[in-house]
């Protein structure tokens, strides 16, 4: 709260623990400070298996959760957003419950809402778009050409699919993709739009026939220019980091690399754009959604995308400069930028009382 109201996602999952939520809240603190948003970090969760609950049960659970924590919520206190197994519909229930309890409509209480309730244009694509933007910036910083660069993406959900789409529009070649059902390789490059349409129709890539089947693990070890983990936590670790041949890794997922895995990647000279920078596009556009809801003035998508690009480009350059100044990895440089910003706030505000 030193930098503003707290911001983070609400997760419904059987494995949710208090420690996990505290860790993810801390990550949000660093992420918001790094990209200079006027927020602190937060996270919420309910231990449940949403795949076994009916829509009515999910709605009841969400409304009861909202009432339980209502004293912690508010457009200037804490603003939840969707995370694992929560959606724009979940946000609509939180917004409606909060509004009914307060007696007025409050769209700025959540982000990631449906557009008709004040959601922002461009929010759905924002995280994947951001991954593509920072990948482009890394290529520029290294004086390399993204055109024709070979990219492998682990996870073809919201983040992975839009990262694939925008990177291929920028001239890169998506040579491998995976999801929970398996992995596919195509040296000529996949058409991300075709894959997105396929997943929308069939739910996953399981029966897609446009590439050669490989194992999910083998996708991580391909000799590509860029590997984008965009699925789950802890995918690159001490047991497999040595086998990675990608020259660059751009972390679409939260915490896909363990500290031990990270050390091995650094030792191999692989550039890693860390999660708190690479996937911050989502919270950047969430901030814009909050601003739009507070002001009641809604922006066109081009304006949202322009702002996102400006913010991410600036943040990447700050991190790059810091990594050169201190001769540290992009991850360490990102933490330095974030912590310096938070420390400066403490210096001015002091500690009350």
Is residue 176 at the binding interface for ligand NAD, with CB under 6 A as the rule?
no
Is residue 180 at the binding interface for ligand NAD, with CB under 6 A as the rule?
yes
Which listed residue (74, 75, 157, 189) binds ligand NAD by CB under 6 A? 157
Token pair, residue 318, equals: 């700050």
Selecting among 7, 31, 43, 311, the annotated active-site residue is 43
Is residue 155 at the binding interface for ligand NAD, with CB under 6 A as the rule?
yes
Nearer to ligand NAD, 21 or 67 (CB): 21
Whether residue 5 contacts residue 77, with contact meaning beta carbons closer than 8 Å, is answered with yes
**Closest chain position to ligand NAD (CB):** 157
Residue 52 CB coordination number (10 Å) = 8
Q: Which one of 32-40, 101-109, 252-260, 297-305 is the stretch in contact with ligand NAD (CB under 6 A)? A: 252-260
Q: Which one of 97-105, 175-183, 287-295, 302-310 is the stretch in contact with ligand NAD (CB under 6 A)? A: 175-183
Which listed residue (146, 159, 176, 246) binds ligand NAD by CB under 6 A? 159
Is residue 252 at the binding interface for ligand NAD, with CB under 6 A as the rule?
yes
Nearer to ligand NAD, 89 or 216 (CB): 216
Which listed residue (88, 120, 154, 315) binds ligand NAD by CB under 6 A? 154
Nearer to ligand NAD, 66 or 280 (CB): 280
Burial 198-232 (b: 16+ CB within 10 A, else e): bbeeeeebeebeebeebebeebbbbebbbbbbbbe
Is residue 198 at the binding interface for ligand NAD, with CB under 6 A as the rule?
no
Q: Which one of 133-141, 156-164, 265-273, 306-314 is the stretch in contact with ligand NAD (CB under 6 A)? A: 156-164
Nearer to ligand NAD, 63 or 123 (CB): 123
43 is annotated as an active-site residue? yes
Nearer to ligand NAD, 27 or 270 (CB): 27
In angstroms, the CA 250 to CA 121 distance is 25
Which listed residue (179, 225, 289, 309) binds ligand NAD by CB under 6 A? 179
Is residue 284 at the binding interface for ligand NAD, with CB under 6 A as the rule?
no
Question: Shortest approach of ligand NAD to residue 4 CB, angstroms?
Answer: 19
Nearer to ligand NAD, 216 or 307 (CB): 216
Which listed residue (93, 98, 156, 271) binds ligand NAD by CB under 6 A? 156
Q: Which one of 61-69, 177-185, 266-274, 342-350 is the stretch in contact with ligand NAD (CB under 6 A)? A: 177-185
**SS3 for the chain, per residue?**
CCCCCEEEEEEECCCCCHHHHHHHHHHHHHHHHHCCCCCEECCEEECCCHHHCCHHHHHHHHHHHHHHCHHHCECCCEEEEECCCCCHHHHHHHHHHHHHHHCCCCHHHCCCCCHHHCCCCCHHHHHHHHHHHHHHHHHHHCCCCCCCCEEEEECCCHHHHHHHHHHHHCCCEEEEEEECCEEEECCCCCCHHHHHHHHHHHCCCCCCCCCEEECHHHHHCCCCCEEEECCCCCCECCCCHHHCCCCEEECCCCCCECHHHHHHHHHCCCEEECHHHHCCHHHHHHHHHHHHHHHCCCCCHHHHHHHHHHHHHHHHHHHHHHHHHHCCCHHHHHHHHHHHHHHHHHHHHCCCC
- Chain residues 231-250 in contact with ligand NAD, contact rule CB under 6 A: 231-232
List of residues 6+ apart from 136 with CB closer than 8 A: 146, 170
Helical axes 281-295 vs 123-141, angle rounded to 10°: 130
Q: Which one of 65-73, 174-182, 185-193, 331-339 is the stretch in contact with ligand NAD (CB under 6 A)? A: 174-182
- Chain residues 121-150 in contact with ligand NAD, contact rule CB under 6 A: 127
β-pair type (173-179, 44-46): unpaired
Question: Shortest approach of ligand NAD to residue 20 CB, angstroms?
Answer: 11
Residues that bind ligand NAD in the complex, under the rule CB under 6 A:
127, 154-160, 178-180, 216, 230-232, 252-254, 279, 282
State the catalytic residues.
43
């Amino acid at each position: 709260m030193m930098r503003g109201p707290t911001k983070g996602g609400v997760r419904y999952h059987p494995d949710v623990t208090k420690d996990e939520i505290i860790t993810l809240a801390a990550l949000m603190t660093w992420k918001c400070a790094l990209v200079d948003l006027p927020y602190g970090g937060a996270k919420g969760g309910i231990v449940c298996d949403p795949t076994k609950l009916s829509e009515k049960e999910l709605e009841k659970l969400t409304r009861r959760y909202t009432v339980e924590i209502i004293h912690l919520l508010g457009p200037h206190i804490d603003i939840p957003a969707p995370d694992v197994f929560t959606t724009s519909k979940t946000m609509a229930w939180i917004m409606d419950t909060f509004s009914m309890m307060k007696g007025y409509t409050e769209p700025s209480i959540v982000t990631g809402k449906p557009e008709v309730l004040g959601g922002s244009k461009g929010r759905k694509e924002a995280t994947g778009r951001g991954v593509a933007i920072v990948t482009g910036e890394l290529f520029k910083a290294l004086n390399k050409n993204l055109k024709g660069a070979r990219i492998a993406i682990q996870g073809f959900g919201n983040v992975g699919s839009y990262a694939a789409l925008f990177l291929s529009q920028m001239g890169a070649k998506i040579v491998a993709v995976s999801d929970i059902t398996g992995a596919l390789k195509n040296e000529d490059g996949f058409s991300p739009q075709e894959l997105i349409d396929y997943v929308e129709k069939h739910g996953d890539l399981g029966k897609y026939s446009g590439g050669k089947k490989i194992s999910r693990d083998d996708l991580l070890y391909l000799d590509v220019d860029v590997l984008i983990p965009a699925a789950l936590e802890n995918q690159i670790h001490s047991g497999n980091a040595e086998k990675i041949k990608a020259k660059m890794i751009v972390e679409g997922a939260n915490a896909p690399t363990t500290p031990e895995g990270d050390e091995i990647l650094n030792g191999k000279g692989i550039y890693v754009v860390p999660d708190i920078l690479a996937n911050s596009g989502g919270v950047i556009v969430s901030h814009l959604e909050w601003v739009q809801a507070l002001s009641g003035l809604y922006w066109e998508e081009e304006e949202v995308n322009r702002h996102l690009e400006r913010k991410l480009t600036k943040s990447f350059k700050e991190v790059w400069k810091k990594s050169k100044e201190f001769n540290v990895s992009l991850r360490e440089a990102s933490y330095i930028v974030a912590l310096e910003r938070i420390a400066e706030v403490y210096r001015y505000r002091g500690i009350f009382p």
